[in-house]
Amino acid sequence: MIEVEHLSKTYGSTTALQDVSFAAESGEILGFLGPNGAGKTTTMRILAGYLPASQGTARVAGYDVHRDAMAVRQRIGYLPESPPLYPGMTVANFLTFVAQIKGVPAGDRQQRVNSSIERCGLGDKRQVLIRKLSKGYKQRVGIAQAIIHDPPVIILDEPTVGLDPRQINEVRQLIKGLAGSHTIILSTHILPEVSMTCDRIAIINRGQIVATDTPVNLTARLAGEGIYEVDLQGNGEQARALLSPLAQVREVALLALEGLPPGHHRLRVRGDNSATLGPEIAATLVQGGLALHQLRRQQASLEDVFLNLTTVDAGEAAPPEVAEGLSVAADDLTHDP
C-alpha cells in the first residue's frame, strides 16, 4: 500500500533523509519511531505529497506521490504535526468543509461527518467553535478530518502529542479500530505508542532507517544477549574474578550502589543468551564460597532496542550491531517485567 524506495531529502546543505526505504502492507499499522529531528515529519510530508523528495520514489496505493499527486491526495487522510483547524468554525462545519474539498459526494457527506464525529468521540462538541476546544479535542478533530473521506491510507504525524494519558489511550484505541480497513502510518517518539498500537515498526535516526521489524522481533533481537543481576554477600571483587573467565560471560560489572547492606554487592553480568548461563553463574558463586542472595534475569524492552539503535554514533551509520553499546542504554533504565 505504501512503498518508499531510496528516499532522500536535502534542505540546502542539510540532509534530512538519506536513502530511506520501507513499505507498509494493506491494512497494517506501521509505526515510524525516532527521536525528535530524525526526519519523521519530513517523511510524512513527502508521503502526503506536501513536500517533494530530493531523490527516490514514494508510492501510495500504487501512485507516485509526486507525479500522480492528485490521485494520491484523494487516497490519503493526513494529520500534520499541528492539526490544521480553522479556529472560527464549529466542529461540524469544519468537517463538512473538509468533506467537500476531499470530494465526498453530497449525498454521503452528512453520514460521513456523523460517523467521523462519532468515531472520534466528538458527539457533544458538534456545534462548539474549534477555538474553544481543549488540546485533546482539537487533536481528535484533526484525526476526524483525516478519516472523513474514508481514505485507504491514513498518515498521522505525532497523533498523541500533547494529550493526557487518558486521551492518549483513547486515541490509541481509535487508531487500532481504524486498522484492517485502512493502512495507517503513524510517527511518534514515544515508545509504548508503537509497541501498543503498531504491527510493524520502522526506527529512523538522523534521516536513516536503522531497523524495520515487528515489535516482538525487535525485542528479540536485543534478547540475543542475556543480562543478569546478582546480589551477593562477601567479596565483590572476588566474585567478579570468578565470573569473568567463564566462557559464556562477556562482561561483569560491579555496580556501585547506595543503600545495600554492608558487605553486600550487586553485579551485572552480560553474556550469551543461553539457558545455562544463569545456573552457571549461580554454581560458580556458590562454589567460590560467596553467599548468593538474588539472581535476576533482565528482560530487554523495546526501549533498549530504540536507545541502542539511536544512540549509536552518527559516524558508523550502517545498521549497528545490536549487542554493542547496550550498556549505554541499559544502565539507567527501568525495565518492564
Q: What angle do CA 324, 188, 27 make, to 5 degrees?
A: 105
Residues 258 and 247: beta-carbon distance below 8 Å: no
Residues 6+ positions from 120 with CB-CB distance below 8 Å: 140, 141, 143, 144, 147, 174
Q: Which conformational region is residue 196 in: left (phi greater than 0), alpha (psi within -120 to 50 degrees), or beta?
A: alpha
Minimum distance of other proteins from residue 278's CB (angstroms): 53
Q: Is 85 in the site for other proteins (CB under 8 A)?
A: yes
φ, ψ (nearest 5 deg) of residue 72 = -70, -45
Question: Which window, 43-51, 116-124, 215-223, 321-329, contacts other proteins (CB under 8 A)?
Answer: 43-51
Q: Considering beta carbons, is residue 78 or 306 the nearer one to other proteins?
A: 78
Q: Considering beta carbons, is residue 50 or 235 the nearer one to other proteins?
A: 50
Q: Considering beta carbons, is residue 106 or 275 the nearer one to other proteins?
A: 106
Q: Is 48 in the site for other proteins (CB under 8 A)?
A: yes
Question: Which window, 50-58, 236-244, 247-255, 323-331, contacts other proteins (CB under 8 A)?
Answer: 50-58
Which of 57, 93, 233, 238 touches other proteins (CB under 8 A)? 93
Query: Shortest CA distance to 148 belongs to which of 93, 89, 72?
Result: 93
Q: Considering beta carbons, is residue 113 or 290 the nearer one to other proteins?
A: 113
Q: Is 73 in the site for other proteins (CB under 8 A)?
A: yes
Which of 31, 49, 236, 320 touches other proteins (CB under 8 A)? 49
How many Cα atoms within 13 Å fall on the side-chain side of residue 6?
Answer: 2
Q: Is 89 in the site for other proteins (CB under 8 A)?
A: yes
Which of 15, 57, 74, 273 touches other proteins (CB under 8 A)? 74
Helix boundaries (H) for the chain: 40-47, 69-75, 91-101, 106-119, 135-147, 165-178, 191-197, 215-222, 236-243, 277-287, 302-310, 326-330
Q: Is 12 in the site for other proteins (CB under 8 A)?
A: yes
Site for other proteins in 159-198 (CB under 8 A): none
CA distance 230 to 73: 57
The count of chain residues that interact with other proteins, using the rule CB under 8 A, is 36
φ, ψ (nearest 5 deg) of residue 267 = -120, 150
Q: Is 207 in the site for other proteins (CB under 8 A)?
A: no
Minimum distance of other proteins from residue 194's CB (angstroms): 24
Using CB atoms within 10 A of its CB, is residue 87 exposed (0-12), middle (13-18) or buried (19+)? exposed
Residues 6+ positions from 82 with CB-CB distance below 8 Å: none
Q: Is 152 in the site for other proteins (CB under 8 A)?
A: yes
Q: Considering beta carbons, is residue 141 or 249 the nearer one to other proteins?
A: 141
Amino acid identity of residue 286, one-letter, is: V
Site string for other proteins, 96-115 (x = CB under 8 A): -xx-xxxxxx----------
**First CA to last CA distance, the chain:** 36
Q: In what helix (H) or strand (E) does residue 257 lie, and over which residues does it extend? A: none
CA distance 270 to 247: 12
Q: Is 52 in the site for other proteins (CB under 8 A)?
A: yes
Minimum distance of other proteins from residue 87's CB (angstroms): 7
Q: Considering beta carbons, is residue 54 or 273 the nearer one to other proteins?
A: 54
Site string for other proteins, 119-148 (x = CB under 8 A): --------------------------x---
Q: Please report, as ranges, the residues that interact with other proteins according to CB under 8 A.
A: 11-12, 48-52, 70, 73-76, 78, 80, 82-89, 93, 97-98, 100-105, 145, 149-152
